[in-house]
A = this chain, B = another copy of it.
Amino acid sequence: MLKGIRAMKRKIYVLRYGHRVGRDKRVTTHVALVTRAFGANGFILGDVVDESIYRTIAKVIDAWGGELHVEMGVNSFEYCENWKKQGGLIVHLTMYGLHVDEVIGDLRRDTRDLLIVVGAKKVPGFFYEIADYNVAIGHQPHSEIAALAVFLDKLFEGRELYLKFNNAKLEVIPSPRGKSVRRISAGN
């Protein structure tokens, strides 16, 4: 699990539904990297296994640290049903849902484990039904990557952009111009 300045004890996982191997490789990789970088602690790829995505996540964690629970090939429907049975909350991100500003306060105060479902283009009615909240990051078509990032940024009120990741080998030194990276020796 991701450590660092995490204030919340609850588990926040992202379930990616509808991934098509090959076609969606890059978009789903971005979803996984946003999951990690924006402070969620699990990435679940529903219904398929895609080794290329697993490898990219592993490489990023090896260099930049943190811990991320990753599962692939689980049955998405059963995963959601089990999540609910265990007392967890489900948010489904969709442009048809309620405006994020209407629900984000409730979602911040809620202490239950949170599963965030992000789908590819067409998503079965199942997710709209099982979700406790269908949440829209604006009601325009754009991107599930954008939706996830903005949702987590609002949930954590921007604090996620200050996260420190455990066991990082590399760390950026913020710079007005150019790239500055610090190599962190083992044990730090």
Contacts and interface: CB of A to CB of B under 8 A. Distances in A.
Given A30-B27, A101-B161, A64 B141 contact: yes
Interface of A: 23-24, 26-27, 30, 33-34, 36-38, 60, 64, 94-101, 125, 128-129, 131, 133-134, 136-143, 145-150, 153-154, 158, 160-163, 165, 171-172, 174-181
A132 to B, nearest CB: 10
A128 to B, nearest CB: 5
B33 A142 contact: yes
A92 to B, nearest CB: 10
A138 to B, nearest CB: 4
B165 A36 contact: no
B143 A30 contact: yes
A34 B137 contact: no
A27 B136 CA distance: 20
The 4 closest A-B pairs by CB, nearest first: A146-B149, A30-B143, A139-B172, A37-B140
Contacts of A148: 146
B142 A98 contact: no
Contact of A177 (B27, B129, B145, B181): B129
9 contacts: A34-B146, A36-B142, A96-B181, A129-B177, A134-B178, A139-B171, A140-B163, A150-B153, A153-B153
B174 A98 contact: yes
